[in-house]
Structure 1
Amino acid sequence: MSRQPVLLPYADPAFVADPFPLYRRLREDGPVRRAVLAGGLDAWLVTRYEDGLAALSDPRLSSDVRDASDPRLIQQLPRFERESMMSNMLRSDPPDHTRLRRLVSKAFTARRVAELGPRIQEITDRLLDAVAPAGRADLVADLALPLPVTVICELLGVPVDDRHAFQRWTDAMLVRGEGLPDPAAVDEAWQRMHAYVTAHLDAKRAHPGDDLLSALITAHDEEQRLNRDELIAMTFLLLVAGYVTTVNLIGGGIAALLAHPAQLTLLREHPDLLPDAIEEFLRYDGPVSPGIARFAREDVDIAGVTVPRGATVLIASAIADRDPARFPDPDRLDITRRDNGHLAFGHGIHYCLGAPLARLEGRIAVGTVLRRLPDLALAVSPAELDWRPGGLRGPARLPVTFTPGGRAG
């Protein structure tokens, strides 16, 4: 294994548009590879599938950033996040993680999610009704973004009209790139989101409804299973995580189809392949890249490499999901692929709670686009597409043309 850390070149537009040639070289270089991430942070990349699968279930690898030895990881967090937003499921381990996850898991069971299907279809058709007569659209701004935002707002009981505000704050909070964002701007976004969430929770407490946030408030007020910071952090996590990655799944999935016309035709002709297609989009170019961070509680041996206590371990799901030892011909998009046990949603106790909802939204959105927008094509060359620069991967815009049509029947 090379000892010189590799720099992930987020300033290089070619890498942002297509990181997979470098990812492939990193995987071939060794199963564990040191890398320099945005902001100069050092991490140990786990690049192969079997090692990544094992690492995601290894209790010696913590989700709590406070277990990291590099003080910059805490220092680079916005002040407001450090003080108020650390008590969420993504940053916790058992027993706190077990308790927090149990409180919301009933809202995301397969049965509960399936019941949302008709409403998701209704929202999708309404969004496409607005663009179908024009014969052109930006399928990120016009569909991939507003669909999951509307769904999570309704699930949580948040006014959909507020979505533009918290989308702006979310964009500021999650900005990634080669260097560090403006800390004052990021902290202001965190403060605005915190104030919004707190005010909304107060309103829900005064006028509870049949929604998930009202149930969480009950858990805080009556059953004392959530403290105040946990309640706020949980609300923030559900609101943001409930839509950010799904935007990229839908936009990235459609972009992948448009770049592979034979696969697009196959899916149009065989819509029963849609569930397999969604899994392949997640494997081929998933919404999280390069992967999922953990922090070593002790010295940990991964594939014969000793990762020291306190190190940041980046389980590179986007690299591992193209491991030829696990996926034959991994750089080929194949919507008929079977046994597609990708790592895009993680694995183990932190497996994405919203995975069933994301899959359903993806199936309905992509399937409806293919059904309602004939002759779908990119309005720009693939090289002109703008991709998000790091951490969360997907097209920032997806301009398309199609044969104009009418409203859904």
Structure 2
Amino acid sequence: MVTAVSDDMFTDEVIADPYSYYGTLREEDPVHWNEKYQLWVITRHDDLVWLTRHNELFSSAVFKNDPRPPYPTIYDSDLGLYEFVREYQSRQFIQHDRPAHLDMRKVVHGYFTPRSMEEWRPMVKDVIKDLLDEAEERGSMDVMRDFATPLPLLIIAEMMGVPKQDRPYIREVAEKLLYVGRGEPWRMQNFSEGIREMIEYVTPLVEKRIVDPEDDFISVLAKGEREGVFSREEVISNSSLLLLAGHETTINLLCNGILSFIHNPDQYDLLRSDIEGMYVKANEECLRHDSSVKSITRIAAEDVELRDKVIKKEDRIRWFISSANRDPRKFEDPDTFDITRWPNAHVAFGAGIHHCLGATLVRVEGQEAFKAFAERFDSLHLDTTEDQLDYQPSITFRSLKALPITWN
């Protein structure tokens, strides 16, 4: 079937409401060839899970193995910047296939076990309390600026041994790195500048940890270099990756989740009626209903047939988590925000061998954040109009630019 839906995934309408656009594809053409950007768009839950479980067919080494220019197009004068970006990105462990990916992940996995992440819960609760105390003194807040950004940034920076005074700078650089999923033709200028700044910042931290390791995550990566698993360049690139990924997904979870509660005050009242009994389920539903990450990209390692379509070797593939998490074949009333939904088989963290390394940390931060809001505020309200809410023009992240709120 050839659907009549436009192939432009970067329009304002699609960015603002990905659920209608990708939902149409999911129902009419779930394995859709996007002619405009020359890639396959996968939108059903079962297909996404199948792809993640057949990593031998769908390579994660996209920047290394994809010889084509980026999409949407960039300025010809920036193609050299793109080659620099490709080389840098290809050093990250998430951009490797087995066996290299497994060896790299083993180095870092022990740091992110559920037990290890639980040890950070008291600090998460303390940071949340301080941030909400400050917000209450002001009488209002921009959730993005005043709460969702500083909370995970403080935690991941602490984990990685980044000095407190440097953390605002890390966020400033991270915002440039987010241009990777955007569509502006000049985006490589911002993205490559962010990479260079992150390399310059992280390199001396890594060099220090190689000689004098501490109890932080950069020291874990440095140990990987000493053991011959990582090169120095890979340690630096993966340190940068974890600084970005370690806070960006939580930022979006918190903003999108609070907005879901504002749009569904009955669910907020339900959470407040039994906070201890509901806060874990509530967080999982926030992860499903308006996921932080919209899509993941892969490249076909060989010809593969899926739903009577032939995905050819080296074809680009992008699977959409936001669509899979609202698939009516998997979820009853999928567009309804329902914090009693259980079990909740969402794929907000992906699946298979590339399941998000920091999923437990994101859960700890989200659980404690929504719990703290429910304990403190009787009700939540937008401090702006709906039409003034704006999202970053990215097909990778579902990210509000701001979320001003008040409360009773």
Q: Normalised by the size of structure 2, how large is the TM-score?
A: 0.92
Instruction: Confirm or deny: 8 A CA contact 1:67 1:296 kept in the other structure.
Output: no
Give CA-to-partner distance per residue, 1:238-272, whole Å, 9 cap, x none: 11110111100111111111011111111111212
What is the count of residue pairs matched by the alignment? 397
Instruction: Confirm or deny: 8 A CA contact 1:80 1:191 kept in the other structure.
Output: no
Structure 1 counterpart of 2:216, from 211, 215, 232: 211
Q: 1:76, 1:106 → 2: CA distance? A: 37
Instruction: Confirm or deny: 8 A CA contact 2:304 2:310 kept in the other structure.
Output: yes
Task: Determine whether 1:56 maps to 2:52.
Answer: yes
**Other structure's SS at 1:377 match:** strand
Give the percent of matched residue pairs that are identical in Structure 1 and Structure 2. 34
Q: 1:380, 1:3 → 2: CA distance? A: 36
Q: 2:94, 2:176 → 1: CA distance? A: 19
Q: 2:134, 2:315 → 1: CA distance? A: 49
**Other structure's SS at 1:7 match:** coil
2:34 equivalent in structure 1: 35
Task: Determine whether 1:196 maps to 2:192.
Answer: no
Deviation larger for 370-379 or 140-149: 370-379
Instruction: Confirm or deny: 8 A CA contact 2:89 2:95 kept in the other structure.
Output: no
Instruction: Confirm or deny: 8 A CA contact 2:291 2:322 kept in the other structure.
Output: yes
- Relative distance call for 1:84 and 1:68 in structure 2 (3 A) is closer
Query: How many Å apart are 1:206 and its aligned residue?
Result: 4.6
- Relative distance call for 1:151 and 1:76 in structure 2 (3 A) is farther
The one-letter code sitting in structure 2 at the alignment partner of 1:8 is D
Give CA-to-partner distance per residue, 1:320-362, whole Å, 9 cap, x none: 1111111111111111111211111000000001000001100
Q: 2:338, 2:316 → 1: CA distance? A: 33
- Relative distance call for 1:141 and 1:331 in structure 2 (3 A) is same
Query: How many Å apart are 1:402 and its aligned residue?
Result: 1.9
CA RMSD of aligned residues (A): 2.0
Structure 2 counterpart of 1:309, from 313, 321, 342: 313
Structure 1 counterpart of 2:360, from 344, 350, 356: 356
Q: 1:84, 1:238 → 2: CA distance? A: 14
Instruction: Confirm or deny: 8 A CA contact 1:3 1:34 kept in the other structure.
Output: no
Instruction: Confirm or deny: 8 A CA contact 2:254 2:369 kept in the other structure.
Output: yes
2:66 equivalent in structure 1: 68
1:407 equivalent in structure 2: none
Query: How many Å apart are 1:302 and its aligned residue?
Result: 1.4
For structure 1, the 5+ residue unaligned runs are: 404-409
Task: Determine whether 1:331 maps to 2:332.
Answer: no
Query: How many Å apart are 1:293 and its aligned residue?
Result: 0.8
Task: Determine whether 1:281 maps to 2:286.
Answer: yes
Query: How many Å apart are 1:208 and its aligned residue?
Result: 2.8
2:118 equivalent in structure 1: 114
Instruction: Confirm or deny: 8 A CA contact 2:349 2:356 kept in the other structure.
Output: yes
**Other structure's SS at 1:392 match:** coil
The one-letter code sitting in structure 2 at the alignment partner of 1:55 is L
**Other structure's SS at 2:53 match:** coil
- Superposition pairs for residues 142-161 of structure 1, below 5 Å? 142-161=146-165
1:131 equivalent in structure 2: 135
- Relative distance call for 1:185 and 1:338 in structure 2 (3 A) is closer
Q: 2:405, 2:161 → 1: CA distance? A: 33
2:24 equivalent in structure 1: 25
For structure 2, the 5+ residue unaligned runs are: none
Task: Determine whether 1:318 maps to 2:314.
Answer: no
Q: Normalised by the size of structure 1, how large is the TM-score?
A: 0.92
**Other structure's SS at 1:103 match:** helix
Query: How many Å apart are 1:224 and its aligned residue?
Result: 2.1
1:187 equivalent in structure 2: 192
Instruction: Confirm or deny: 8 A CA contact 2:18 2:322 kept in the other structure.
Output: no
2:391 equivalent in structure 1: 387
Give CA-to-partner distance per residue, 1:183-223, whole Å, 9 cap, x none: 333322211111111122123335432112123213313x2
1:372 equivalent in structure 2: 376
